[in-house]
Amino acid sequence: MEVSKIDSIIEQYGARESALLAILQDIQAKENYLPKDALEYVSQKMHIPLVRIFRIATFYNALSLKPRGLHKIDVCLGTACHVRGGSKILEKIERDLGVSVGETTKDNRFTLESVRCIGCCSLGPVAVVDGKVFGRLGQDKVSGLLKEFK
Ligand code: FES
């Protein structure tokens, strides 16, 4: 990521530690992940230890140290979704995309993750694609869902 782009993000929020999360979110939004060299630059520029930045970068699910695909799929494996077949939905998506949880498809189209309860338990099993919730999923609906995002 170009240094000038990082500088303009930092300028927008101010080089305060309290703005660090917002700055990392903006970098994530522009690059689809947090490149290591960008984090090192933020650390130097804002005088914040790199280890503290990595702690934040790994704590929030919305941030990623690995490049993500164009579309992010989160399959809920919380208790309510699990008992309604959430893990079967996950297995079907893994088979259809040829990836495991935490991986990105070779064409960089999808990144697959699992989550623990997103608060829509009555709709279970649920998956979230790019922030949009899809409920009452069955294995028969997975292929159609994925086609919507191809
Ligand atoms: S357990 Fe899946 S939304 Fe609550």
**Model confidence at 94: pLDDT above 90:** yes
Residue with tokens 């999360």: 21
Structural domain containing residue 18: 3-59
Residues with CB under 6 A from ligand 1: 76, 78-81, 117-121, 124, 126
Model confidence pLDDT, tens digit, residues 10-66: 999 999 999 999 999 999 999 989 999 999 999 999 999 999 999 999 999 889 998
The DSSP element (H or E) to which 71 belongs, if any, is strand 71-76
Task: Tell me how far the alpha carbon of residue 63 lies from the centroid of ligand 1, in angstroms.
Answer: 21
Model confidence pLDDT, tens digit, residues 106-146: 999 999 999 999 999 999 999 999 999 999 999 999 999 99
Domains of the chain: total: 2
Domain CATH number, residue 108? 3.40.30.10
The DSSP element (H or E) to which 38 belongs, if any, is helix 36-46
Looking at the fold, whether 109 and 48 belong to one and the same domain comes out as no
Q: Is residue 65 part of a domain?
A: no
* Nearest CA-CA partner of 99 in 79, 75, 119, 77: 75
Whole-prediction pTM: 0.76
How far are the Cα atoms of 26, 29, 124, 134 from residue 74, in angstroms, in the given order? 21, 17, 13, 10
